[in-house]
Each structure stands twice: as C-alpha cells, then as structure tokens.
C-alpha cells in the first residue's frame, strides 16, 4: 500500500493498512534522498567542531579558532558569544617535532589550534556547557540569553575534548589528559545570574583518572543504566558507574586507529564508535561488540555520528554524509542513470578556504573536501545541519550547510 493511499484513506477515518510506526520508518528512510543543501557563509571562522540547535532557526557553533557563535539560519546573522576566562590566564603549551612533517601539518600542536570540541545543553534547556577561553577549562552559559554562569577550573591539564550533562545540575568533562571531571552547577548559582559583575568559578565535584586511557576523546551518558561510556582515540572503551563515579568495564576495540566520535541510540540500546575505516556497534547490556561495518569511505575516517530513529547518520573526513539503516543492516541506496543502486552519499559543498602562505607553499592546487566534523537534526528531524572544514590541520577554512 502506498504512503499516498494510506494518507488519503486516513483522512476519511480508515485506520487499516500501514500503521503509524511503519509510516514513521518509511518516511525517515525516504527523507535523506530528498535533502537539498543550502550552504551558509561563515566568513573567516576556522573549522566548526561542534554544533547544537537552539531553536527552529538558530544553531550554536564551536570552532577551531576557539569561538562560540550563535547563527541565525534564516538571516545568516552571526553573534559571537564572549569567551569565559578562568582565574589563571596561562595557556597550555605543547611540544612538537619540527622534523616530523606529518605531525606538523596534520596534528594539532599548540593550545591556540585546539578550539571548541564540544557543546552540550542540559535536559531542561536552561544551561549550555562548552570550552572556555582556556581550552582546558569548562564554560557554562544561561540560555537563551547566553549570560555567563561559571568557569570550571582546576581539573584538566590538557584540552577538554567532550562534555555531557547527566541532569540539570551535574555534567562530566573528558580531557586529553585522560581525566574525567564531575562538576555541579547548583540551583542557587543558576538563579544568581545578573547579581554579580562577572561569572563564578567552580572546581570539580570529583576528578578521576581513566586507567590505561591516555586521552579521553568522547563520552556519552546512558540514562537507562546510569553509565558513562568513555572512548580513547586508540580504541579503549570503558563504562563508568555514575552512582559511584567508578570504572565498571573496559574493552579494547579491534579498530584501534582514530576513534574520534561516539553516539548512543535514542532508545539507549546501542553505542556506535567511529574509527578511521569502520563503525563498531556495542550492546550496553552485555558491553560487547555486536557488529562492525565498513565506513564506506575507508581512507578518510568517520568524524561524526548521530541517530535519527533507526537511521545512523555518518559524517566522514572525505566530505560525505551517509545513512545506515540499522533495521535492514545496510546503507541507504539510491538509483543512478544506469538503473543500478549505489550507496546514497550527500556531498559537502565548496565552503571557504584561506589561500594563505601555508596553502600556497604546501597545498597549492590540491583538492580537499570539507570534513563533516559535526552534524545535528532539528526537533522535527526534517532538517540536518552539517559543518566542518578541510581535514589537514595546516589548512584554514570552514563549511556549514542546512539540508532540508
């Protein structure tokens, strides 16, 4: 029975035929093939690493140049949110080998090139957490006004890579130093906004080292089990019991290169981890790998992951957006001119690339698709915001678009 016929019959009060649940599944498998890209001008911002929808027309961005920007998708207006400074103005420095060309041009080597890697909003939508002026520190703002609330300090000695709220007061940070920080933004502190000339300062409620984990790259909170999933770039996967804030499980994934992103399904039934060439599915109940699939863009890495019901959306370093159908265990397909079915790929647009001295000397006339470092759906799941920039860290540029 066609979707059109079902809708027509339903308008007359007939309820036989396709169920609402089946309709929902059919619609969300069909929507990606209908998406059309509308690029957004971000001027000279450098690489978007994090994003969240604020409303039906606004998103907030975190960039490699350490800026938090509120973007109006209708007018294109950009408002830079002032960075919050901690009491220590010192910035971390990193050693680096000038003799190693690959390390120099493809890896981050100082604090200024770290940027904002994570943005998260608490369940009630009243507070936004991200990185501070110092990338080792936490910054919390009041929504929707973006009034400063506090800076979380005295926790990390290296960059904060991920942030997740546990509830409206507690949040966890994961750092490149291998530590987890548990912070509490109390109600009395939230209600005092506007009574002080500047923001307050918080030390972590608790701070724990992840054993055997040199760097914390991504974290996700499973509210059903009250576990925090922790991922390191070399494929170490841990869970932490947040009742006690103690490690409860450790597993080494088979895919051990460039594990940089992780997501949790909406029903909390599966974790997914993106690596250089594969996507790993883990069952939270048994904490075992239940499926490993190719990223379909093997040489570029998986850079962002998110769930939309039974569809897993995959952003790659090669400028592709893919959609994996979990129920049917395959990527969504589309027809080509010859009638053959191929994997549906949405390709990122041109974006903006700085033709600076670095580009002229080392990358001139080379083509670099825009990596999809971040993507997120709006509340109705009919619009997809994607953003990123060129993959080599030596290049300066940006990309952002809305697909609808």
Spatial separation of the C-alpha atoms in residues 311 and 325, rounded to whole Å: 5
* Predicted local distance difference test score (pLDDT) of residue 105: 41
DSSP codes joined into one string, 329-344: TEE-EEE-TTS-EEE-
The residue written with tokens 């825009």 in the block is 370
The H or E element containing residue 39 is: strand 37-39
Which pair of tokens denotes residue 115?
């940027």
263 bridge partner residues: 272
* Predicted local distance difference test score (pLDDT) of residue 299: 72
Compare 13 and 171 and report the one with higher pLDDT. 171
- Dihedral sign for Cα 29, 30, 34, 38, please: negative
pLDDT for residue 95 is more than 90: no
* Predicted local distance difference test score (pLDDT) of residue 80: 97
pLDDT over 90 percentage in the chain: 68
Dihedral over alpha carbons 338, 342, 344, 349 (to 10 degrees):
-70
pLDDT-derived band at 20 (thresholds 50, 70, 90) equals: low
DSSP codes joined into one string, 343-385: E--EEP---EE---HHIIIIITT---PEEEEEEEE-TTSS-EE
Which tens digits make up the pLDDT trace of 230-262? 999 999 999 999 999 999 999 999 888 889 999
* Predicted local distance difference test score (pLDDT) of residue 245: 96
* Predicted local distance difference test score (pLDDT) of residue 88: 74
Other CB atoms within 10 A of residue 91 CB: 13
Least confident of 20-24, 225-229, 296-300: 20-24
Least confident of 48-52, 296-300, 312-316, 341-345: 296-300
Across 96-100, 105-109, 151-155, 378-382, the highest mean pLDDT is recorded for 151-155
* Predicted local distance difference test score (pLDDT) of residue 16: 61
pLDDT, mean of residues 81-101: 61
Compare 290 and 273 and report the one with higher pLDDT. 273
Whether residue 387 contacts residue 401, with contact meaning beta carbons closer than 8 Å, is answered with: yes
pLDDT for residue 1 is more than 60: no
pLDDT for residue 38 is more than 70: yes
312 bridge partner residues: 307, 324
The C-alpha angle 122, 130, 65, rounded to 5 degrees, equals: 150
Please state, rounded to an integer, the average pLDDT across all residues of the chain: 87
* Predicted local distance difference test score (pLDDT) of residue 189: 64
* Predicted local distance difference test score (pLDDT) of residue 98: 35
pLDDT, mean of residues 293-298: 84
Which tens digits make up the pLDDT trace of 111-145? 445 899 999 999 999 999 999 999 999 999 999 99
pLDDT for residue 332 is more than 60: yes
128 bridge partner residues: 121, 141
The H or E element containing residue 101 is: helix 101-106
CA–centroid distance for 400 within its chain: 14
* Predicted local distance difference test score (pLDDT) of residue 334: 86
What is this structure's pTM? 0.87
Query: How many residues are listed for the chain in this entry?
Result: 404
pLDDT for residue 94 is more than 50: no
DSSP codes joined into one string, 119-181: -EE-TTS-EEEEE-SSTTSEEEEETTTTEEEEEE-SS-SS-EEEEEESSSSEEEEEETTSEEE
* Predicted local distance difference test score (pLDDT) of residue 108: 38
Q: Spell out the residues 6+ positions from residue 197 whose beta carbon is closer than 8 angstroms to its own.
A: none
Whether residue 304 contacts residue 373, with contact meaning beta carbons closer than 8 Å, is answered with: yes
Spatial separation of the C-alpha atoms in residues 70 and 146, rounded to whole Å: 10
């Amino acid at each position: 029975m066609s979707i059109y016929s079902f809708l027509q019959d339903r308008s007359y009060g007939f309820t036989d035929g396709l169920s609402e649940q089946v309709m929902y599944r059919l619609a969300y498998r069909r929507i990606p093939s209908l998406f059309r890209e509308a690029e957004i001008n971000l001027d000279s911002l450098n690489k978007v690493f994090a994003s969240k929808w604020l409303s039906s027309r606004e998103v907030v961005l975190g960039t490699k140049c350490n800026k938090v920007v509120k973007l109006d998708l209708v007018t294109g207006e950009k408002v830079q949110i002032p960075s919050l400074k901690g009491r220590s103005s010192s910035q971390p420095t990193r050693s680096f080998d000038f003799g190693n060309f690959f390390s120099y041009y493809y890896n981050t080597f100082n604090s200024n090139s770290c940027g904002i890697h994570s943005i998260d909003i608490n369940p009630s939508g009243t507070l936004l957490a991200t990185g501070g002026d110092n990338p080792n520190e936490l910054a919390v703002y009041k929504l929707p006004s973006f009034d400063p609330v506090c800076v979380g300090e005295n926790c990390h000695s290296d960059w904060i890579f991920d942030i997740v709220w546990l509830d409206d007061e507690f949040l966890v940070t994961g750092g490149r130093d291998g530590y987890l920080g548990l912070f509490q933004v109390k109600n009395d502190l939230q209600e005092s906004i506007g009574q002080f000339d500047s923001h307050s300062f918080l030390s972590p409620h608790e701070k724990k080292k992840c054993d055997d984990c040199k760097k914390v790259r991504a974290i996700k909170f499973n509210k059903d089990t009250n576990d925090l999933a922790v991922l390191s770039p070399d494929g170490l996967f841990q869970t932490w019991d947040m009742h006690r804030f103690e490690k409860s499980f450790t597993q080494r994934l088979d895919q051990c290169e460039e594990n940089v992103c992780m997501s949790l399904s909406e029903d909390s039934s599966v974790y997914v981890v993106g690596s250089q060439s594969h996507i790993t599915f883990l069952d939270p109940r048994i904490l075992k790998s239940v499926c490993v699939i190719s990223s379909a863009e093997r040489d570029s890495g998986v850079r962002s992951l998110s769930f939309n019901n039974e569809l897993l959306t995959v952003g790659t370093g090669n400028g592709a957006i893919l959609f994996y159908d979990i129920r049917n265990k395959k990527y969504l397909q589309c027809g080509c001119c010859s009638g053959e079915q191929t994997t549906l790929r949405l390709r990122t647009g041109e974006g903006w690339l700085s033709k600076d001295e670095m580009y002229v000397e080392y990358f001139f006339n080379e083509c670099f698709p825009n990596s999809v470092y971040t993507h997120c759906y709006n509340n109705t799941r009919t619009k997809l915001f994607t953003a990123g920039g060129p993959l080599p860290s030596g290049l300066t540029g940006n990309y952002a678009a809305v697909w609808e």
